[in-house]
Amino acid sequence: MNRPDVYASTWRLPVIVWQCLFFVGPLLFMIAVSFFLVKNYRMQEAFEMANWSRMMTRGYFWDAYWYTLGLAAASTVLATCLAFPAAYGLAFKVSESTRRWIIFLLIIPFFTSYLVRTFSWYVLLAESGVVNAILGKLGFGPYTMLNSAFGTLVGYMTLTLPLVVILQTLSLANVNRSLIEAAHNLGAGRMRTIFTVIVPSAKVGLIIGAVFCFILSFGDFVAPYYLGGSKPPTLPILIIDTTKSGQQWPRAAVVAVVMMVTLLTAAFTAITMAYRKRR
């Protein structure tokens, strides 16, 4: 192609221009900001390690880091385990149209305000809330469920569970049925079939579901703030506090860059595992 192809470029360029300006641009600039300085409440362009050395040597930063990582990992394991039986049922035990309907139902939450749903959990789980009232009738409780890791995990599940179920269902539904029948014919029991045939065949989809769950939980500030009581704060809460109250954008940028590196490492490791050939 010697002449510039106007027609092809018309369709190809918009996304390149837009994403470079407003996606790659901001992310690269944020890395630069992490080296800037703040003097008299104004940000100055500079190249100093001050923010990095300050954040990296603070105990509260590392507390927040390990706490966030632990919560996100717990959320990933929990969501993967909770979603699997549902996805298994949807993929193998219901008709095609039922499956489509339930998936449609599971899409609905994505379009309802996550904030309002979190606030609903806040009043449902409160000391004098609905859940404790019901448990009280049955002779249990009351339990303190808010301002704890439990509350945060309920929030994370609200955010991630529907997505994980959908992704798992889609990957399980694509497992070759004749493999499963072959396993049954060769005398494998139900559990053995699940763990030696179905799970390995659907591995890529299951891992992608887990990766999305990890990314969403790791980056969410609503659940740890409103349901977890933000004690200790998680990294996203740290970003908000430093940005909103202290005007310390460079320090917030340090936290954000550390989060990005962590997520990239986690996602890369998981994807490599997903595509590794089975021996």
Partner 1 sequence: MSDRLIKWLLWCYLGLLLVFVFSPILTSVIFSFNSDRFPTIPLGSFTLKWYQTIFDDPDVWSAARTSIFVSLCTATLATFIGFCTAYTDYRYGFRFKGAYLALALLPPTIPLIIMALAMLAWLSKLGISGRAWSVVIAHTVLCAPFAMGIIRLRLQQIDPDLESAAWNLGASEWSAMKTIIVPFARPALISAFCLTMAVSFDEFAVAWFVAGLNKTIPVLILEVLQGTTDPQIYAIGTFVFLTSITLVIIAQVFFMTRGRKPTAPA
* CA gap 278, 271 in Å, rounded: 14
User: Is residue 268 part of the contact set for partner 1 (CB under 8 A)?
Assistant: no
Contact between 256 and partner 1 (CB under 8 A)? yes
Closer residue to partner 1 (CB): 96 or 279 = 96
Segment interacting with partner 1, rule: CB under 8 A, options 9-17, 62-70, 174-182, 271-279:
9-17
Shortest distance in whole angstroms from residue 225 CB to partner 1:
9
Q: What is the 3-class SS of 108-173, one letter each residue?
A: HHHHCCHHHHHHHHHHHHCCCCHHHHHHHHCCCCCCCCCCCHHHHHHHHHHHHHHHHHHHHHHHHH
Which of 4, 278 has the CB closer to partner 1?
4
**In terms of C-beta distances under 8 Å and separation of at least 24 residues, what long-range contacts does 141-149 make, across chains too?**
146/122, 146/227, 146/229, 147/227, 147/228, 147/229, 147/231, 148/228, 148/229, 149/71, 149/74, 149/228
Restricted to residues 186-225, the positions that interact with partner 1 (CB under 8 A) are 190, 212, 215-216, 218-221
Q: Read off the DSSP letter of residue 228.
A: S
Among 35, 54, 69, 89, which residue interacts with partner 1 (rule: CB under 8 A)? 89
Residue of the chain from 81, 105, 135, 182 that contacts partner 1 (CB under 8 A): 105
Residues in 49-88 that interact with partner 1 by CB under 8 A = 82, 85-86, 88
Which part of the chain contacts partner 1 (CB under 8 A), choosing from 58-66, 97-105, 143-151, 268-276? 97-105
For partner 1, the binding residues in 25-44 under the rule CB under 8 A are 25-27, 29-30, 33
- The full DSSP string for 1-51 is --S--HHHHHHHHHHHHHHIIIIIHHHHHHHHHTT-EEETTEEE----SHH
Residue 152 found at the interface with partner 1 (CB under 8 A): no
Of residues 154-183, those binding partner 1 (CB under 8 A) = 157-158, 161-162, 165
